[in-house]
Structure 1
């Protein structure tokens, strides 16, 4: 266990533990508040199958929840989400010390028995559930990837912005140790994609022509008789 003379950020270990205890209570209060919103929304609009009937006259589910959201100054999506989570977690199945975020993630477990059992059993070696642990259990992307596969899975979403993707690609292409680990056929595919631009292709070809061994090998592979032409004068027809 870390000693008190160690620091976490700008505070001592003991002060950090005080802050954690204080904020855990805040998180518990937030969870209770979210479930209260969800429970009251369920009271106003109980869950029913998507194909279930609704009263001939009166409010639709969305109209009711929109009215409720406006009257408590929240978004409709917040109220509707709280209602859904509350419907997945009856009061007697809720456990102390579990954040509403974890409940929301685990609510996606379709098997009710699995869902209710899971919340009671944090991952091995953990005393409490974390949001990443819950996402990991469902096979979702985590915010703080740990394993190699999690890190790989995080890259596409991080690089959705084209400027970010371009910067990352440039960085990776400039790291020979990384590119050396890429299969030859994948490297070839990258080159083919990059040289679709005529200016890039022209520059690349100019560079390759300055490497005779590479050019001769390429020509020899595509044109078996090329070796016989090497060193011979090429006669062009008269104009």
Structure 2
């Protein structure tokens, strides 16, 4: 989980939800001055020695997850303003993967992508206009491909806003370029709870940024 200081912190609520959903002992990738309650002090933490920004922290975090566990079947990277449906991990272990070849599975689905759809996995094709990096799951193969792709490697140097944000745009553009599916799940297994953003100062968890069909538990 990536985390950074917020005017209205959500980290503790998000961590408690992630653990209750089945992910015990998640690793934190923390920007400087992130506050953490004592009850989470034993979690593994990778502290950044200076502020990196959303995309660099996320990319380095994924790289570290892979290098720590190079044989893992799946890698979840989430953000600190999300809550998770109880039972999500068990459910996903039974239902991944939705296809033989996968780019990414987003278990957060914004409202405008879920309306009128039946339960299950669905493919979105929006490229750079993809929306929502709250909780991405990569297969071993897809993570290696993403980390090595020029769209990811060059984003920090050539991307908009100094390459500090646009995680979802990079992932969507990579899926499009690699001709790999970008999956979402209906109903959403994740809800966005951040009232403030570490990237967009005027953004809140409302409108399309919320998941209208979020379920509190799944089995």
* TM, length-normalised to structure 2: 0.23
Higher strand share: 2
Higher helix share: 1
Q: Which has the higher contact order (CA 8 A, sep 6+)?
A: 2
* TM, length-normalised to structure 1: 0.22
